[in-house]
Amino acid sequence: MPYDLKEVAAISGMPGLYRLLKPTRAGVIIESLDAKATRSVASARNKVSLLHEISIYTQDYDQTVPLTEVFDRIHQKYGAELPLSNKSDDRDLTAFMGEIIPDYDRDRVYMSDIKKLVTWYRAVSSTLEYQAPATDGAEATEEATPTEATKAAKQDVPANDEAMSTAGIIPATEEDNAAANPEAATPKTAKKASKKA
């Protein structure tokens, strides 16, 4: 993940972006994502939107592009210094969005969303360190389309009802080996296959 957005959030009623530090009884301690790094408390009434959970709509109704991937695309094209701001001309902002996500949904992604994206990227790129992706499999990642990469990532994550693999190594306790436990029965030894001459 190029920019770590897990603890970065937009908070309703508060301008800018914030880093979530620690929960309190009344809400959460936050730090502004700017040079001042001012700390305050966001009330539990405020809506907190974590950036890593935000995606941008595409023309495929069931497909979205995660904001972390969008930020990575912007960094690949422009680096940390974005030549646009939220006050740029609407045509320039629309052209910028078309370069970053050519198939973004023009009906569901509004100009206010594009301006917010530019503002957020400028705040994140000026404060957080960009972590270059690992070089292993870089060619495979570049060749894969975003939908293939997203599907591959989803396959690695177990579903809510799917057990996570322990690679078959689960230490047995003495209770598991108790005589009354039917699952603790000693397994039958497998017969060795005889070699035919």
Q: What pLDDT is attached to residue 140?
A: 42
Same domain for 69 and 86, yes or no, is yes
**pLDDT tens digits for the chain (197 residues)?**
477 888 899 988 888 899 999 988 888 899 998 888 889 898 888 888 999 999 999 999 889 999 999 999 999 998 888 889 889 999 999 999 999 999 999 999 999 999 999 999 998 888 877 776 655 444 444 444 444 444 444 444 444 443 333 333 344 444 444 455 444 455 454 455 555 54
- Is residue 120 one of the residues assigned to a domain? yes
Q: What is the DSSP string of 52-105?
A: GG-EEEBSSTT-EEEHHHHHHHHHHHHTT--S--TTS-HHHHHHHHHHH-TTB-
Say which residues have a Cβ less than 8 Å from residue 43's Cβ, sequence separation at least 6.
Answer: 26, 27
- Quick one: three-class SS letters along 16-56? CEEEEEEECCCEEEEEECCCCCCEEEEECCCCEEEHHHCEE
The first and second tokens of residue 183, run together, are 């699952």
Q: Are residues 68 and 26 in the same domain?
A: no
- Residue 154's alpha-carbon distances to 12, 150, 159, in angstroms, are 30, 6, 9
Last residue of one domain, picked from the residues 74, 96, 127: 127
Do 67 and 105 lie in a common domain? yes
In which domain, by residue range, is 42 found? 8-51
Same domain, 101 and 82: yes
Structural domain contains residue 147: no
Residue 135 is assigned to a structural domain of this protein: no
Q: Identify the domain boundary among 90, 108, 127.
A: 127
70 and 119, same domain (yes or no) = yes
How many domains does one find in the chain?
2
16: left (phi over 0), alpha (psi -120 to 50) or beta: left
Is residue 196 assigned to a domain?
Answer: no
What pLDDT does residue 73 have? 92
Element (H, E) at 156: helix 146-156
Q: CA 100 to CA 83: how far, in whole Å?
A: 14
pLDDT of 179: 52
pTM above 0.75, yes or no: no
Contact 77, 99 (CB under 8 A): yes
Q: How far apart are CA 158 and CA 165, in angstroms?
A: 9
Does 25 share its domain with 62? no
Nearest to 7 by CA among 26, 24, 29: 29
Kindly state whether residues 43 and 94 are assigned to the same domain.
no
Specify if 87 maps to a domain. Answer: yes
Query: Per the domain annotation, does 137 fall within a domain?
Result: no
